[in-house]
Amino acid sequence: MLTVKEAAEYLGKHPNTIRQWTKDYAEFLSPAALPAPGKERRFASDDMATFWTVAVLKSEGNHKNAVVESLATGLRMEPSWREGAPHGARSSPMDATRPEDNSQVKDAAALAVQLVQGQVDSLTNERDYRRAQLDSEREARMAAETDSARKDGELAAIYRRHWWQIWKPERPEKPEP
């Protein structure tokens, strides 16, 4: 069992990163990794495989939700060390072996594709809805402009027909003798 500091050294991460990952991915860790307050965290080899997987997925640009989805499918990548390895035995999470025929990797990739496709579909639907709204607003504006122009034309016609009544000067009243 490894301490936070030892786990951080093996993974090449800061201890605070390991503490944060312990909170973020608690559902995938052993009870020893989540002790009662005041007790020291200890990580088993399964916990380290989980952290290794998190490190690899994060280094590939995956966000927390995608990492959680992958871990939920059971995806675990084994680090090149095991308990009992020399203390200085480090390697990078990028050195993890990821065989192409690994069904877990394929399942995680398929899940990631489905997740991304769902987001694309959602954004496409939102775009189409907003386009329909915009078209409707354009039609309403064009109708309002057409109505306004028609009314302006009617007003101009009235003015042309009755201009002399609008602008005729008033005659002064003649005083009575």
Evaluate whether 42 touches 32 at the Cβ level (below 8 Å).
yes
pLDDT at residue 118 in the model: 84
Name which residue leads in pLDDT, 91 or 126: 126
CA 9 to chain centre: 31
Residue 169: C-alpha distances to residues 42, 148, 160, 172, 176 (Å): 102, 31, 17, 9, 21
pLDDT beyond 90 at 127: yes
- Rounded Cα gap, residues 10 and 33, in angstroms: 16
DSSP states of 10-72 as a string? Answer: HHT--HHHHHHHHHHTGGGS-GGGSPPTTSPP-B-HHHHHHHHHHHHHHHTT--HHHHHHHHH
pLDDT tens track for 26-46: 999 999 888 888 888 899 888
Domain boundaries, the chain: 4-97, 99-166
Please tell me the pTM assigned to this model: 0.47
pLDDT beyond 90 at 141: yes
